[in-house]
Copies of this chain bind each other. A is one copy, B any other.
Amino acid sequence: MNPDITRERENATFNVEKLTHILDGGIEKTKRRREIESLVISDPDFQSEDLNFLSRSERYDAAVKKSAQMILKLREYGISDPEEIYCYKSCVHRGRAEPLDLHLAMFLPTLLNQASPEQMETFFIPAWNLDIIGTYAQTEMGHGTHLRGLETTATYDPATQEFVLNSPTITSIKWWPGGLGKTSNHAIVLAQLHTQGKCHGTVHTAVRASKKECVVVGDIGPKFGFDEVDNGYLKLENVRIPREHMLMKYAKVEADGTYVKPPSAKLTYGTMVFIRSMIVGEAGHALAKSCTIAIRYSSVRHQSEIRPGEPEPQIMDYQTQQYKLFPLLATAYAYKFVGQYMNQVYHRITGDISQGDFSELPELHALSAGLKAFTTWTASEGIEVCRMACGGHGYSRCSALPDIYVNFVATCTYEGENTVMMLQTARFLIKSYQQASAGHQLSGIVSYLNESERRLQPQSVSSRPTVVNVNDLASLVEAYKLRAAKLVEVAAKSIQQELQKRVSQEDAWNNSAIDLVRASNAHCHYVVVKLFAAKLGEIGDTGVHSVLSTLALLYALQGIQQNSGDFLQTGLLSVPQLSQVSQRLKELLAQLRPNAVALVDAFDYCDEMLNSVLGRYDGNVYEHMFEWARRSPLNKTEVHESYHKYLKPLQAKL
């Protein structure tokens, strides 16, 4: 054990294990998670060469091998709870995406949601046994989340009772679905349904992706990360499938071609909301891993000097290093707690939905969209800050940070592009604002908009006495709330002003989009601060409560400093208070310093899961970096063949 990191742990003021239980959701959950992790870690079938040293094809191969083992073992151990499956899977693949992801997370669930009982027989059982390996093909080369834009056609032919599937243009080629390139033999294809001379919008059809003339399928080539996944393309040319291959639990096409509409569009809402909520937790997870690596490394890395003549200090003693890492550590905690909250709300609302009560769904939908964008953007930036805070070694693949980044940053784009997500949340906010302005009493998370008309008159802003106490978290939550209210109002007014210029509603919206994103952002920021503060109320242990309170305050104050213009502009803070915020932030950094390593230890990532030389629990970074480097494929031979091929002949010519 590195003595620096040992000393850090001795200086901690709280019980790390207790905080781990809080993060896991209880002592029993911690125990079970550790059991599952050790099942994987101790399993010789999951030992493999470092992926960093393999070619993409080898990485794909290694991933398929692990995925196949994983399916067998999950059944062998009888692990069937979705959360436990997820935990096992994350551990097997170290958090990376894998070739069967779409089969497990989209193909099977879509069958469960959309297949009729007969179709369940035809597809689900074989899919469960991996005879059918499926993917979910929505995105096309020229079209993303906008369903109406999809160009793939499914034209019903009553003569043969078949659908004829086509990719009529180059932009209509299905593009990106994971597992489509090589792994799958089937796909659920979203296509525009044409029957009886009319287009009825998108439907789900199940297609066998065999490589006949009529189906062109393959891998879309290397990407930024995701080397283990065969994201693929699919070009359909007059592919005929039986009528029964359209998933018909809700929408139907009868034998004669008559189209029967689904009863409610909201039924397909749920999965999307669930996945976005999951991503919020993943943002906390990715940032927590990155902070673990950067903070442990900062405690064993010595560099330059603060006081001349003294030994090189731990880099964590530099105020600038603390300012980079500790707010991110606070953010990781915040997002983990928000992830827990979203998970709880989702399960509660799912209960309501199954009883036919959709009332809370729009709010959850709006919240999950905005929070997905808010958390993935900041977490992605944060991962890179952590990586760069490790100096040169952060660029080495052995740090694991490049991998965490490339595998996480895609969440900014998939499952709803972030700007689109922010604008969806803004639509809900503006609608709520307009309802409040019209005198309706709002409930739920947007209830603060009830007060906005009354309290936030422009003329009153500057004269209203500033009441924010920068040392009181509850007061800061209030400030974030008022900032959100003000920015929603600014966006709404921008739309009104545009409308006064006689532009259409749609153009007014687009011409106010910057303000709308800003409002959503402020709304999400408020929600995060509020939920972090609320979490503190659940924590009994004094030591843990104290350190988490410091983190929460740091999170709130740093957000104010970074967005100080908003808080000044709305009159929520005065200029002298902002100087107080700066001063207080510095104090909080110093206050957190002794607990920094313990706070990342509490995330409880074992070395096998982190897979980072810089983030090792024992802090013995350099010996292991040297050992890792010696295994680099370029070191297999003393002289690389390129020397004989190119450099030696060059020397002869010069």
Q: Which of A226, A388, A629 has the most CB of B within 10 A?
A: A629
Residues of B within 8 A of A650 (CB): 68, 71-72, 130
A220 within 8 A of B: yes
Contact A323 B392, beta carbon cutoff 8 Å: no
A21 within 8 A of B: no
With the chains together, A577 CA to B388 CA distance in Å?
Answer: 36
Residues of B within 8 A of A564 (CB): 564-566, 568-569
Q: Which of B146, B211, B222 contacts A303 (CB 8 A)?
A: B146
Residues in A147-203 with C-beta less than 8 Å from chain B = 148-149, 170-171, 173, 175-176, 181-183
Contact A306 B171, beta carbon cutoff 8 Å: no
With the chains together, A591 CA to B409 CA distance in Å?
Answer: 32
Known: A230-B634, A647-B64. A628 touches B221 (CB 8 A): yes
With the chains together, A651 CA to B301 CA distance in Å?
Answer: 49
With the chains together, A388 CA to B65 CA distance in Å?
Answer: 32
Residue of B nearest to A131 (CB): B651
A532 within 8 A of B: no
A252 within 8 A of B: no
Contact B176 A303, beta carbon cutoff 8 Å: no
Q: Which of B419, B567, B575 contacts A320 (CB 8 A)?
A: B419
Quote the shortest CB–CB distance from A462 to chain B (angstroms): 7
Contact B221 A629, beta carbon cutoff 8 Å: yes
With the chains together, A509 CA to B321 CA distance in Å?
Answer: 14
Q: Which of B139, B233, B511 contacts A319 (CB 8 A)?
A: B511
Question: Interface readout for A378-419 with B: 1 if CB under 8 Å, 0 if not?
Answer: 001100100110011011111001100010011011100111
A582 within 8 A of B: yes
Quote the shortest CB–CB distance from A578 to chain B (angstroms): 6
Residue of B nearest to A646 (CB): B68
Residues in A63-79 with C-beta less than 8 Å from chain B = 64-65, 67-69, 71-72, 75
Contact A629 B319, beta carbon cutoff 8 Å: no
Q: Which of B67, B410, B513 contacts A318 (CB 8 A)?
A: B513
A546 within 8 A of B: no
Residues of B within 8 A of A65 (CB): 642, 645-646
Quote the shortest CB–CB distance from A483 to chain B (angstroms): 13
Question: Interface readout for A256-280 with B: 1 if CB under 8 Å, 0 if not?
Answer: 0000000000000000000000000
The 5 closest A-B pairs by CB, nearest first: A564-B565, A224-B402, A219-B634, A221-B632, A64-B642
